[in-house]
Amino acid sequence: MTAGNLTGPRPGRSAGRTFLVGTRASTLASTQAGTVRDALIDRGTPAELHFVHTPGDASQKAQTPVARIGVGVFTETLRNALAAGECDVAVHSFKDLPTAPDPRFIAVVPPRVDPREVLVSNGDLTLRELPRGARIGTGAPRRVSQIRALRPDVECVGLRGNIDTRMSRVGDGPEDLAAVVLARAGLERVGRLDRAAETVSVTDIMPAPAQGALCVEVRADDAAAVEAVRHLDDPVSHARAVAERAVLATLEAGCTAPVGAFSTLEDGVLTLQAGVFALDGSTSLVRTISGPVDATGAGPGDAHGGGEDDGTDAGEGVVHPDPQHAAAELGRTLGTRLLEAGAASVIATAGPL
């Protein structure tokens, strides 16, 4: 998908308008959206935040597991608000979006921050230093499966809520947790990295596909909005995120599945590693692929699983003219290799936490 066939601003909205940047009201979400608002303003585009309440906000307060309330609970309402013209720009944590492309929107990906996990622990102990039987807070099957593989002697406890709520559970009392696992990106964005005892290696806990990346969406029929966000796109971050999410899409797994991915893009070569993990820690399938991806001079497009197919072969070792297509093809190839190694059965047997 490209920005070349846009029809102009939605009726009733001036091309010189103040752009409304849609976001949830949580500290992390509004901070992320605030960086987009500020970047627009810095380029001379008037912008302000617009808060959208989602059903997922109430489910967090009730500590309802994400697996029970459904994938996309935090993004669907925001996308609907964008589609309806309630806001002009929507800012998501890219890892939370469905992998299926949505033709209603054009997306850009700002520069990505460190995608690794961090451990916030009592006494600033690392994951390997925690005592036997330690209770670790995390509700993500991907994290649980890898923690159990590394430390089968600890207990993983389901946990939801905002960053401060999760970190407040760490202590030395009988009801406290010894540690919680969080995305480093969240702590970095809200200025709380000082609480991290350890940034966990990707070989210990592989991040979620596209973790640390934001996805900024605008309506595909809003030429003024597309033009306003163009400069936010970082082609390297965009290609890496697309490659990782293409693995997830190929596996037909949701964002709560025990699937991890991590990529680098240096000197025109994208190296992608992805894994599927059994919830009990007994099995891990990890594969790696590398291929040429030229991310210089790329622009915004379909950020969800690669752009539309233009008939060009983008197999491993072949340079595709569109870096998102090339990155997506690498991700699909790696996903296929994981399926051939038995990934579907590992995912199917993951079961509830």
DSSP 5-65: T---SPTT--TTPPEEEEE-SSHHHHHHHHHHHHHHHHTT--EEEEE---HHHHHHHTT--
Cβ-proximal residues to 143 (8 Å cutoff; 6+ apart), any chain: 117, 156, 181, 205
198 secondary structure, DSSP code: E
* Torsion angle of the four alpha carbons 181, 159, 141, 281, in this order, in degrees rounded to the nearest 10: 70
User: 323-340 vs 235-251: helix axis angle to the nearest 10?
Assistant: 30
Do the Cβ atoms of 234 and 300 come closer than 8 Å? no
Tokens describing residue 143: 């994290």
**Number of neighbouring beta carbons within 10 Å of residue 84:** 10
Distances, alpha carbon 221 to alpha carbons 76, 83, 103, 112, 136, in Å = 19, 10, 10, 26, 46
160 secondary structure, DSSP code: -
- List the chain domain ranges: 19-113+209-345, 117-200
Q: What is the pLDDT of residue 253?
A: 83
- The partner residues of 352 in beta bridges, in order of sequence, read none
Looking at 3.40.50.1110, 3.40.50.720, 3.40.190.10, 3.40.50.2300, the CATH number of the domain 117-200 comes to 3.40.190.10
State CA 87 to chain mean position distance.
Answer: 22
Q: What is the pLDDT of residue 91?
A: 98
Cβ-proximal residues to 72 (8 Å cutoff; 6+ apart), any chain: 96, 97, 98, 255
**C-alpha count within 13 angstroms, C-beta hemisphere, residue 39:** 19
Q: Which residues of the chain have pLDDT under 50?
A: 1-14, 58-64, 66-71, 305-321
Q: What is the pLDDT of residue 51?
A: 97
CA distance 7 to 15: 12
| Phi, psi angle pair for 113, to nearest 5° | -100, 175
| Nearest Cα residue to 240 out of 115, 149, 131 | 115
- On the 0-12 / 13-18 / 19+ scale of CB atoms within 10 A, 128 is exposed
Find out if CATH 3.30.160.40 is the number for domain 19-113+209-345: yes
